[in-house]
Chain A
Amino acid sequence: MSAVDWYLTLATGLFCIGAYGVLARRNVILIVMSLELMLNAVNIALVAFADFLPGAAGRGTFFALFIITLAAAEVTVGLAIVVANYRYSRSVQADEFSEMKG
């Protein structure tokens, strides 16, 4: 395995852990943390690729900056909604969100 493969393996591993967390966690705050893990796994992959690709260096890095910014926005809004819900149900458990079905 070349060096870039190791980075790819690390990124894929982190991404899968994050995806598992989104699916398996019951606490909305932990779900949001798992989402962060997924997005940051992408950042690792992008920065690694940007470093190893000939000629296109830098492109991946600036894209990672976009992702960091937007991930922050996403988490802010996510936590705000969780707080709004806490006012209603006094809970941050995802199981609470099962009113609608069908």
Chain B
Amino acid sequence: MTAAGVVTLLPFIALTLSAVVVMLAGTFHTSHRLTVGLTLGGLAWTLAMLPVTAARGGRQVTELLLLDDYTLFFIGLLVLTTAGVVLLSYGYLERRESHPHDYYTLLLLATLGGATLVASTHFASFFLGLEVLSVSLYTLIAYPRLHADFIEAGVKYLVLAAATAAFLLFGMALVYAELGTMSLNGFALLHVTGGGAADTSLLVGGFVLIIVGIGFKLGVVPFHMWTPDIYQGAPAPVTAFVATVSKGAMVALLLRYFRGVSLNPHDTVWIVFAAIAAASMIAGNLLALLQSNVKRLLAYSSIAHLGYILVAFLAVGRTAAVAVGFYLVAYFVTTLGAFGVVAELSGAERDADRIDDYRGLAARRPLLAATFALVLFSLAGIPLTVGFLGKFYVVNAGARSQLWWLLIVLVATSTIGLYYYTRIVVAMYVEQPQALPSAPRPARLGAIAGSRASDAVLIVVAGLVLFLGIYPAPLIRLLEHVVAGLP
């Protein structure tokens, strides 16, 4: 690797060094506040390095990583979301864990994994990014060792993620045997050129196994079984991270290398993806109806949202790629907001994940209730929110490619979605609180600062939901520029 390559890799170096600094600081018994400050500083440093890299133009660094504007945009998105998660974690951990330094190290490493995934151009970097992300997440999910639920979720995620990673690897091995290359570009060309080479059974088998690995990370039907358990079992800020960064990084990779799928709607791979999209929208929305646990409800809703994203992914053209990007940003913002509210309401004993916990919230914490209502409406796709525009662009892209039956499923299942999102809003605004005392306001100094930090995140989220919902033009322009390099 050349010196120029090192400069191009600055965002990655910044992330890695911050993780090391936070880890070392932890050995000196630094305060929680300082650790959070260092983590945020590291993330800010990473963000500041993005323009430096961007100024050098899209660059391939060794065979493994490509840092073009597309990569940098998604790294920026991941880093900003992680900053939000860090701020949410501050108050959440302040009420629980006494020495949460490793938590922030792991969060930074998981972000590094996500960034590697987005930048990867080779099976090796794809796998490395995926595993750095996954292994950090195993520990993050099981991190607050106070409750058996966390550990249960950690073990479940570990077994399923490791097993699907093995499927992915076996798929890669088969594709490698057939193509003789491990470059993702060679892989992407495969379905652009169509049939011909894809006839051999090894290649089809490899492709299917790789889809298993990707589908698991996205949490789409039929690989969604882990989603509700992990969402419920993991600490609320970590759930926000799993729902956004971990899924988003995979969507970015999918969009770059599997776009060719959309060109041929009679191809088996296209039909597989279409079936996955439809099944995710239907199963996600229907199963969400049955939930009385807010985190599980959001888990099923996220399955449905990934289904919507896949609809845009299957449509042809630049507008479809922009729609995927826009929907992803909308999904990131709203999901962060939703889990932010859950994290902020969670006490030291357990997470506030029962719908009953939200009864009469409007009277107790009006701002929190208003934010939650806003992000839920955005998830449901009510106009004036970013979620509505996201769906609008998806439907627009789908209609241009005449994916009528997928669009019918999308619209029909979105209507179901309206019901269960509204149920939480009704609980907050209409129903009376139960006899149980409202969560006591945190008394400790750190806890108050923590609350302020999450309030700040929620205010930014609410602002973005409305701003992007009313004036999306700047983001659309940015996305159009970013996806211009895609095939």
Contacts and interface: CB of A to CB of B under 8 A. Distances in A.
Interface of A: 4, 8, 11, 15, 18-19, 22, 28, 31-32, 35, 38-39, 41-42, 45-46, 49, 53-56, 59-60, 62-63, 66-67, 70, 73-74, 77-78, 80-82, 84-85, 88-89, 94, 96-97, 99-100, 102
B145 A77 contact: no
Majority secondary structure, B binding face:
helix
A100 B142 contact: no
B135 A74 contact: yes
Interface in B161-196: 162-163, 165-166, 169-170, 172-174, 176-177, 180-182
B429 to A, nearest CB: 26
B149 A100 contact: yes
A66 B132 CA distance: 12
Given A42-B169, A62-B124, A77 B138 contact: yes
25 contacts: A15-B166, A28-B159, A35-B162, A42-B166, A42-B170, A49-B176, A53-B177, A66-B124, A70-B131, A74-B134, A74-B138, A77-B135, A77-B158, A78-B155, A78-B159, A78-B162, A84-B142, A85-B152, A85-B155, A94-B155, A97-B155, A99-B149, A99-B152, A100-B149, A100-B233
Given A70-B127, A81-B138, A19 B173 contact: no
Contacts of A45: 170, 173-174, 177
Majority secondary structure, A binding face:
helix
Contacts of B69: none
A53 B153 CA distance: 41
B290 interface: yes
A42 B172 CA distance: 9
A28 B155 contact: yes
Contacts of B232: 100
A49 B173 contact: yes
B263 interface: no
B165 to A, nearest CB: 8
A84 B145 CA distance: 8
B163 A46 contact: no
Contact of B156 (A11, A55, A67, A97): A97
In the complex, which of the residues B135, B154, B173, B232 has the most CB atoms of chain A within 10 Å of its own CB atom?
B173
Contacts of B158: 74, 77-78, 81
In the complex, which of the residues B163, B182, B228, B232 has the most CB atoms of chain A within 10 Å of its own CB atom?
B163
A42 B123 CA distance: 13
Q: Which 9 A-B pairs have the closest CB atoms?
A: A38-B166, A49-B177, A42-B169, A45-B173, A70-B131, A97-B152, A35-B162, A85-B151, A56-B180
A39 B169 contact: yes
B77 to A, nearest CB: 26
B60 interface: no
Contacts of A28: 155, 159
Nearest to B152: A97
B16 interface: no
A100 B153 CA distance: 9
A38 B168 CA distance: 11
A70 B128 contact: yes
A35 B151 contact: no
Nearest to A15: B170
B121 to A, nearest CB: 14
B53 interface: no
A82 B154 CA distance: 9
Nearest to A50: B176
B94 interface: no
B285 interface: no
A10 B448 CA distance: 60
Given A38-B166, A97-B156, A102-B228, A46 B173 contact: yes
Contacts of B169: 39, 42, 67
A99 B131 CA distance: 27
Contact of B155 (A49, A59, A82): A82
Contact of A81 (B123, B134, B142, B229): B142
A66 B127 contact: yes
B259 interface: no
B180 A31 contact: no
B182 A59 contact: yes
Contacts of B229: 100
B291 A63 contact: no
A31 B159 contact: yes
Nearest to B205: A12
B180 A55 contact: yes
Nearest to B228: A102
